[in-house]
Amino acid sequence: MLPNVNQFFDSLPKKQCSKCGSVMEELSECYTHVCNECSGQSIYPLSFKPDPKYNPKAV
CA dist 59 and 49 (Å) reads 19
Predicted pLDDT at 19: 94
Tell me, yes or no, if the pTM score tops 0.75: no
End-to-end alpha-carbon separation of the chain, Å? 67
State whether residue 59 is helix, strand or coil: coil
pLDDT (tens digit per residue) in 2-54: 778 889 888 989 999 999 999 988 877 778 889 888 988 877 767 777 777 88
